[in-house]
Amino acid sequence: MSVTWKPRAYLIVVLAVCTALGLLVKPLAGVAAGQSAREADGARLLKGAIDMHFHMDPPGPNATPGNEQADIAKVRIAQARGLRALVIKDHNQPTAGLVYVLRLEVPNFLMYGGIVLNRPNGGINPAAVEFMATQIKGAPGKVVWMPAGDTQTEVKASRQPNRPFVSVTRAGDVLPDVKEVIALIAKHNLALASGHVLPEDALTVFREARRQGVQHMIATHAMDSVGKMTIPQMQEVAKIGAIIEFDYRNVFDDGGRRLDAIRTIGPESEQVNE
């Protein structure tokens, strides 16, 4: 299978399906017959789509039944529904190795993995990024997310507010380990995603990434992350050259404010260093 990684070829405003359970789990039989208008729209939008945010976190010991995330069956359904590719995400484990195996089990379907720089993955862990980029056959690991779930804001608001957290900046400057990770992202032509860091930190990290020559950047579900980006912040993100990610599931919610943001920023933008 020929695998090509070209995230900058896509629209700068991405509708992330985020596991797409509402559209994918309907049995394959009967998709064309008897489907609602919403299901028909969903089937149309899935054709050729790339889900940049396909959650495959395994359930914890106290997980609620029926609330599981995607599994290999959902991957097969995604392929059958005509999706072009998936980016597999697990908040607490790297997914490049998982993707290597998934490619063997579901051939002729583009899949990529990555790493979220949360504490179970070592936090800001340059060694893990280097390993992902260089030590797995086929180089399936392509995305490095900043912390998502282990940021200071999220920890302080959690049931364990005194547990350690992962920082990316201090006094407005990018931390040295984060700069090292960014250098590896640039060296190996990976994609940098903002995760759940504060908008101000995301912009600081993106500016450093652009300075170091990173070609591919993603503002992770920018209107739903911690702090939530404002329109001016998203416009600056677009000028820097990052893709702005929206979640397909809620893009019509809240009076369509996310749609208004897409219209204001523009669904397309000039690509930087293309």
> What kind of fold does domain 10-265 have according to CATH?
TIM Barrel (3.20.20)
Give the model's pLDDT for residue 273. 22
Question: Is the predicted pLDDT of residue 46 greater than 50, yes or no?
Answer: yes
Question: Residue 31 above 60 pLDDT?
Answer: no
Provide the 10 A C-beta neighbour count for residue 239.
12
pLDDT value of residue 114:
98
For residue 253, give both structure tokens. Answer: 């919610």
105, burial (CB in 10 Å: exposed 0-12, middle 13-18, buried 19+): exposed
E strands, the chain, where? 13-16, 50-55, 85-89, 110-116, 141-145, 169-170, 173-174, 191-193, 216-219, 243-247
| pLDDT score of 20 more than 50 | no
C-alpha closest to that of 238 among 205, 195, 269: 269
pTM: 0.85
- Mind listing the pLDDT tens digit for each residue in 50-102? 888 899 988 888 877 766 688 899 999 999 999 999 999 999 999 999 999 99
**Average pLDDT taken over every residue of the chain:** 84
pLDDT in tens, 98-134: 999 999 999 999 999 999 999 999 999 999 999 999 9
Going by pLDDT thresholds of 50, 70 and 90, the confidence category of residue 208 is: very high
pLDDT in tens, 243-262: 998 887 788 888 888 888 88
CA distances from 114 to 108, 152, 163, 182, 200 (A): 20, 22, 25, 14, 23
Share above pLDDT 90 across residues of the chain, in percent, rounded to a whole number:
60
**Cα separation, 166 vs 127, whole angstroms:** 16
User: Which of 92, 141, 78, 140 is CA-nearest to residue 114?
Assistant: 141
Break the chain into its structural domains and give their ranges: 10-265
* Strands 50-55 and 13-16, sheet pairing: unpaired
